[in-house]
Amino acid sequence: MTENTKKKVSVYDNVTKQFNKAADLMGLDPDIRTILSNTTNEIVVNFPVTMDDGSIKVFTGYRVQHNSVLGPYKGGLRFHPSVNIDEVRALATWMTWKTAVAHIPLGGAKGGIQLDPSQYSINELRHITRRFTFALGNNIGPEYDIPAPDVGTNAQIMAWILDTYVSMRSPQERHGASHIVTGKPIESGGSLGREKATGQGTVYVIEMWANDNNFDLSKASYFVQGFGNVGSWTAKLLKQLGSTLKAVEDATGAIFNENGLDADELAAYVEAKGGVAGFPGSTAIDHDTFLRTKADIFIPAALENQITGETAPKLNVKLVVEAANGPTSPEGGDILEERGIDALPDILVNSGGVTVSYFEWLQNKRSEYWDLEEVDAKLFKTMKRAYRKVRSTKSEYNTDWRTAAYIVALSRLATVYRERGIFP
């Protein structure tokens, strides 16, 4: 992970290149191309927070709203040292493509604060979150722009956003606003199955790919980058299918065991220790050795730009499954293609998270609780429909998975623009 933070790369440039490749291939209307090449709103807020020692610190928060032609803006909030306007812009844009591929009636947005959550107490994080929500004010709303968890944020942070947001409404409006955020704790209006949803959707996609390729997942080996919500859930669910987890890397280091690392034990260890380093029964390896792990599948589930022109030649796998957003640069993607490594793209693979966010939003609006079987069944149906649509588009255009997924998304957006026209 380190080499990526060293280099100044524009993640938004990566989105633009991916977008242009698909737009060229499908012959996207030039006006729609111009519209979608821009974000709609970019909100930057600077806000003061009192720290535990009584000092005051000013934080910078972002919310970028890329597009809402298919529905309200939707996307997570990231608390991480790498957050900047270029990254948030890219992540917001990917959300527009993702919701369009999943075919759910939502648009795309993303936000965040540049900070390292591990450097703050719970009390400080609560104050930062509440003050950020207050600063955003009416730039978010349950029928307008609905945040969710992302890297460095979780259900607790969503509960604080909910509470702050509704406290700023009149008493009459408060209960009608619980769908201001998704990914909430269950008792505060969250959905069953939301916590595991991104990992679950990732595993559904892997199973569909395996089925198409006569690939036995019970004999498969894989390795994962990132062991937060997405990486750990993906691994726990792949364990149930009998696949062997050979290596894991996170911000604390990389670990390896040829005979397999137990995903459930590792998740409990990470919960207690804050990272994978030192996990009993594993060997510490360096980043380069990690990337060269010989396995069937590599699952990046951390940050952007991990598979690049420099690192893609090192991979020793048949399949890359992008559980993270934007883990592959365009150069990295070209190398995977030349090397005959299939790469299932982020906007398809990790769309399970926002899909169950949509289910949570619907449950809140209808004052309903769905059981886990219902959520999982609906998620599977949505992922299957998206996978099949991308697969048929891939063969129709004789292109790679990512470009096919973009074509699916861009066709839907272009159709709506054509039907509605441009105001006035």
∠ CA(52), CA(277), CA(309), 5° rounding?
100
- Interface residues for ligand GLU in 242-261 (CB under 6 A)? none
CA atoms within 13 A on the CB side of 335: 16
- Interface residues for ligand GLU in 161-190 (CB under 6 A)? 182-183
Of 95 and 247, CB closest to ligand GLU? 95
Asked if the peptide bond before residue 345 counts as cis, ω within 30 degrees of 0, the response is no
Least Å from the CB of residue 190 to ligand GLU: 11
At 44, give phi and psi (nearest 5°).
Answer: -120, 125
Does 93 bind ligand GLU (CB under 6 A)? Our answer is no
Least Å from the CB of residue 363 to ligand GLU: 14
Does 76 bind ligand GLU (CB under 6 A)? Our answer is yes
Cα–Cα distance list, 103 to 24, 29, 30, 130, 381 (Å): 22, 21, 23, 32, 11
How many residues does the structure list for the chain?
424
Indicate the Cα dihedral angle 12, 18, 24, 25, nearest 10°: -170
Least Å from the CB of residue 357 to ligand GLU: 3
Of 327 and 353, CB closest to ligand GLU? 353
Does 193 bind ligand GLU (CB under 6 A)? Our answer is no
- Interface residues for ligand GLU in 261-320 (CB under 6 A)? none
Least Å from the CB of residue 213 to ligand GLU: 26
Instruction: Count the Cβ atoms, other than its own, within 10 Å of residue 208.
Output: 18
**Which DSSP category does 149 fall into?**
B
Does 80 bind ligand GLU (CB under 6 A)? Our answer is no
394 touches 401 (CB < 8 A): yes
Stretch near ligand GLU under the rule CB under 6 A, chosen from 37-45, 68-76, 137-145, 292-300: 68-76
- How far apart, in whole angstroms, are the C-alpha atoms of residue 189 and residue 195? 13
Does 96 bind ligand GLU (CB under 6 A)? Our answer is no
At 234, give phi and psi (nearest 5°).
Answer: -60, -45
Least Å from the CB of residue 222 to ligand GLU: 21
- Interface residues for ligand GLU in 326-385 (CB under 6 A)? 350, 353-354, 357
Does 148 bind ligand GLU (CB under 6 A)? Our answer is yes
For the annotated catalytic residues, the residue numbers are 110
Closest alpha carbon to 382 in 416, 419, 346, 352: 352
Of 75 and 189, CB closest to ligand GLU? 75
What is the bridge-based pairing of β-strands 319-321 and 297-300? parallel
Least Å from the CB of residue 77 to ligand GLU: 8
- By CB under 6 A, name the binding residues for ligand GLU: 74-76, 98, 148, 150, 182-183, 325, 350, 353-354, 357
